[in-house]
């Protein structure tokens, strides 16, 4: 087995692993969106308005903490940010400001 064969084998294995991880992440996106929404609502109720950085940090930490170590290697900060931003947008659109404020009082 020559060095070219070894390189091709390593590349093929790396691609197979990347494809597997991508497939697992894509399959879990709907669940991740629901979890992010629940965490965003929880942070909103806990901290209220005007504390965006604190809420964001808490939600990021909780999402990252829920990830298995194997996925932590591949899930980017941008991916987590997009989950949170989508959850915040959903919360604002479907709950409305008055419902968010009521949740913050509880």
Domains of the chain, residue spans? 29-105
In terms of C-beta distances under 8 Å and separation of at least 24 residues, what long-range contacts does 44-49 make, across chains too?
44/91, 44/100, 44/103, 44/104, 45/103, 45/104, 45/106, 47/104, 48/104, 49/100, 49/101, 49/104
Distance (Å, whole) CA 84 – CA 57: 10
Distance (Å, whole) CA 83 – CA 35: 9
Interval 24-50: pLDDT, tens: 777 778 888 899 999 998 898 888 878
Interval 50-106: pLDDT, tens: 888 999 999 999 998 888 787 787 788 898 999 999 999 998 888 776 555 555 554
pTM across the whole model: 0.68
């Amino acid at each position: 087995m020559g060095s070219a064969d070894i390189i091709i084998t390593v590349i093929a294995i790396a691609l197979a692993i990347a494809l597997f991880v991508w497939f697992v992440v894509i399959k879990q996106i709907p669940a991740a969106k629901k979890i992010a929404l629940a965490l965003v609502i929880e942070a909103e109720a806990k901290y209220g308005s005007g504390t965006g950085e604190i809420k964001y940090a808490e939600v990021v930490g909780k999402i990252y903490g829920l990830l298995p170590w194997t996925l932590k290697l591949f899930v980017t900060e941008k991916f987590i940010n997009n989950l949170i931003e989508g959850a915040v947008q959903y919360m604002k659109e479907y709950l409305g400001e008055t419902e968010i404020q009521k949740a913050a009082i509880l």
